[in-house]
């Protein structure tokens, strides 16, 4: 108690002193800014004005090349492109037929002896953006802006309108080229080198969001080499510059007034801008547009392999670093990959001395390889770095529909069904392979998987075929059992498994 009574006056004095100090501070006159601080403020303002000037100069350079694209789809095509019941779920039937409210619709407009009828449909009109890349009347935009249109109309920045003379598209990259005839005095925007774009760079997004022509927004590059699953070929530049409906097909521009991307998509829960927009890189757009203009189609080279990314567990099994390459899971016969000597289990790290960090990296590098030339392909095989010579060939028209065939091997002895690591294995016979849609496949088939077992945790499922264990071909269930018996805790073993969707590596641990 004595200690408490001694503390109270001290606390009161301290409080009083604090209040007096605050009063003194409040009563002090405001000191004028020092010369140094005033100079800093002036420098900051000058820097902001300099950035504003750069934005203005870039916008003024490119805006005359930005166009509005109007795509009209006829009402007949809208109706015929879908199931009649889906486009008009009631047809001519009263939607409340058989209910107490049935009579409410008898005297409505468009109703009659046949019952309720939907009002006449009108044409659908979509708006998008584009950018002139050649003053001869060549416009670059997105495929989804013009796809399915009966009529495509282009409105220039000066208000002149032209019907598209021709439309060329590449759905795989969601890019398209529009040609207009008879337009004079056109301004073309220069294409920049999108390979030089880096995270943090300032960019402007130009276009017609919500039909508001000549709109400019600013932001930075948030990421590069982004894949989001909306197109067959993706290598997007991600930006937080505002992109909204109507911006599709418009240019993403650097501070030098060069087009570094074509605005294509947004990630949004509301349908509007959430600061996550995506643009096709200008270098890819230039490669596609050049071929469309020359031949009307895009010619792509191919390799003829199945590949998968290097996750941590897969990379450990191959003795390489994660994301520093892709691993080959299949090699199709009579393809460039087979001719150059690629093997299942090879890790591809570079093509033309350009790093391969993902499946989409390799796909884009391969497809853009010049036909009739040889390109160095760097791989890691059994821990050793090798270089192979890749001679690109034109991708067959039906290549995407083909199923990559696996290497054939002797089935070996039949063996008896076994259970190991929470899965049941049986010999894969030709009849079972055919039932699984895997004609010609060899190995052992998984017939059952126990919940929460090592097999289940590895993602194995009934119907999968195990073709390799520990990089060795599996010929029988006894081979599989012997190879899996030595799997110990913390030391996984690599399996090559096949389904009708393809072949991939997995790691199973006890």
| Active site amino acids | 144, 174, 248
Q: Which residues of 300-328 are buried (b: 16+ CB within 10 A; e: fewer)?
A: bbbbbbbbbbbeebbbebbebeeeebbbb
Closest CA to 105 of 116, 92, 91: 116
> Cβ(62)–Cβ(257) under 8 Å?
yes
> Cβ(411)–Cβ(475) under 8 Å?
yes
CA dihedral 8, 9, 12, 13 (to 10 degrees): -150
Between vectors from CA 230 to CA 137 and to CA 180, what angle results, nearest 5°?
Answer: 10
> Cβ(179)–Cβ(138) under 8 Å?
yes
Closest CA to 265 of 236, 303, 225: 236
Closest CA to 424 of 350, 488, 481: 481
Q: For the purposes of burial, counting CB atoms within 10 Å of the CB of 357, is it exposed (0-12), middle (13-18) or buried (19 or more)?
A: middle
What does the alpha-carbon distance between residue 135 and residue 143 come to, in Å, rounded to a whole number?
21
What does the alpha-carbon distance between residue 138 and residue 140 come to, in Å, rounded to a whole number?
7
> Cβ(278)–Cβ(144) under 8 Å?
no
Backbone angles phi, psi at 25, to 5 degrees: -65, -40
> Cβ(262)–Cβ(249) under 8 Å?
yes
What does the alpha-carbon distance between residue 398 and residue 502 come to, in Å, rounded to a whole number?
17
**What 3-state class would DSSP assign to 122?**
coil
**What 3-state class would DSSP assign to 52?**
helix
What does the alpha-carbon distance between residue 336 and residue 317 come to, in Å, rounded to a whole number?
27
Closest CA to 119 of 86, 82, 92: 92
Closest CA to 351 of 374, 329, 382: 374
- Give Rg (Cα) of the chain: 32
Using DSSP bridges, classify how beta strands 115-116 and 66-73 pair: parallel, antiparallel or unpaired. Answer: unpaired
Between vectors from CA 216 to CA 215 and to CA 222, what angle results, nearest 5°?
Answer: 135
User: Which residues face 447 on adjacent strands?
Assistant: none
- Cα-based distances in Å from 338 to 264, 328, 330, 406: 36, 12, 10, 11
């Amino acid at each position: 108690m004595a200690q408490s009574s001694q503390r109270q006056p001290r606390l009161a004095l301290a409080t009083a002193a604090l209040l007096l100090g605050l009063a003194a501070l409040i009563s002090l006159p405001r000191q004028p800014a020092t010369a140094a601080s005033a100079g800093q403020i002036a420098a900051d303002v000058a820097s902001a004005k300099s950035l504003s000037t750069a934005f203005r100069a870039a916008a003024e350079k490119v805006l005359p090349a930005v166009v509005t694209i109007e795509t009209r789809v006829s009402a007949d095509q809208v109706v015929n492109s879908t199931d009649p019941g889906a486009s008009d779920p009631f047809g001519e039937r009263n939607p409340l037929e058989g209910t107490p409210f049935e009579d409410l619709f008898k005297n409505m407009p468009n109703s009659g002896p046949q019952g309720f009828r939907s009002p006449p449909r009108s044409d659908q009109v979509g708006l998008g953006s584009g950018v002139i890349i050649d003053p001869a009347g060549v416009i670059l935009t997105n495929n989804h802006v013009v796809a399915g249109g009966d009529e495509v109309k282009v409105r220039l920045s000066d208000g002149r309108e032209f019907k598209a003379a021709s439309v060329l598209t590449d759905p795989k990259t969601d890019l398209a080229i529009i040609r207009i005839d008879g337009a004079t005095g056109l301004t073309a925007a220069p294409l920049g080198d999108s390979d030089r774009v880096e995270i943090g760079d300032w960019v402007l997004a130009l276009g017609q969001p919500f039909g508001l022509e000549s709109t400019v927004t600013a932001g930075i590059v948030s990421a590069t080499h982004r894949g989001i699953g909306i197109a067959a070929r993706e290598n997007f530049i991600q930006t937080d510059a505002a992109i909204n409906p109507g911006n599709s097909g418009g240019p993403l521009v650097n501070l030098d007034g060069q087009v570094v991307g074509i605005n294509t998509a947004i990630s949004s829960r509301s349908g509007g801008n959430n600061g996550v927009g995506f643009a096709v890189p200008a270098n890819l757009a230039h490669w596609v547009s050049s071929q469309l203009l020359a031949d009307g189609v895009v010619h792509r080279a191919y390799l003829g392999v199945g590949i998968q990314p290097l996750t941590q567990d897969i990379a450990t099994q191959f003795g390489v670093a994660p994301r520093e390459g892709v691993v080959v899971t299949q090699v199709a016969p009579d393809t460039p990959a087979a001719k150059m000597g690629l093997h299942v289990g090879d890790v591809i790290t570079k093509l033309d001395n350009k790093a391969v960090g993902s499946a989409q990296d390799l796909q884009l590098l391969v497809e853009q390889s010049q036909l009739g030339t040889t390109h160095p392909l760097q791989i890691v095989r059994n821990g050793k770095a090798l270089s192979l010579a890749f001679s690109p060939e034109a991708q067959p028209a039906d290549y995407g529909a083909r199923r990559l065939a696996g290497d054939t091997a002797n089935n070996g002895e039949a063996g008896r069904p076994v259970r190991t690591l929470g899965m049941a294995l049986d010999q894969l016979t030709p009849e079972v392979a055919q039932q699984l849609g895997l004609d010609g496949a060899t190995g052992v088939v998984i017939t059952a998987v126990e919940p929460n077992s090592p097999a289940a945790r590895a993602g194995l499922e009934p119907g999968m075929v195990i073709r390799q264990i520990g990089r060795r071909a599996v010929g029988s269930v006894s081979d599989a059992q012997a190879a899996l018996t030595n799997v110990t805790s913390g030391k996984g073993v690599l399996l090559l498994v096949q389904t009708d969707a393809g072949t991939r590596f997995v790691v199973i641990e006890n």
